[in-house]
Structure 1
Amino acid sequence: MKLITAVIKPFKLDDVRQALSEVGVTGITATEVKGFGRQKGHTELYRGAEYVVDFLPKVKLEIAINDDQVETVIEAISGAANTGKIGDGKIFVAPLEHIVRIRTGETNEDAV
Structure 2
Amino acid sequence: MEKIFKVEIITRPEKLNTLKESLAQRGIKGMTVSNVMGAGNQKGKTEVYRGSEMTIDLLPKIRIEIIAKEILVKDIIEVAKKTLNTGNTGDGKILLSTLENVIRIRTGQEGIDAI
**TM-score, normalised with respect to structure 1:** 0.96
Which segment is superposed worse, 77-86 or 55-64?
Answer: 77-86
What is the CA distance between 1:41 and its match in structure 2? 0.4
* Paired position in structure 1 for 2:102: 99
Equivalent position amino acid for 2:51 in 1: G
Task: Point out the more displaced range, 2-11 or 100-109.
Answer: 100-109
Show the counterpart of 1:58.
Answer: 61
Percent identical:
40
| Residue 28 of structure 2 corresponds to residue 28 of structure 1 | no
Indicate the RMSD between aligned Cα atoms, in angstroms: 0.9
In structure 2, the gaps of 5 or more residues are none
How many angstroms does 1:77 deviate by? 1.0
TM superposition outliers: structure 1 runs of 4+ over 3 Å: none
Please give the secondary structure, in 1, of the residue aligned with 2:60.
Answer: strand
Query: Which residue identity does 1:10 align to in structure 2?
Result: P
- Report deviation, 1:26: 2.9
Number of positions where the alignment pairs a residue of Structure 1 with one of Structure 2: 112
TM-score by length of 2: 0.93
Residue 21 of structure 2: aligned partner: 18
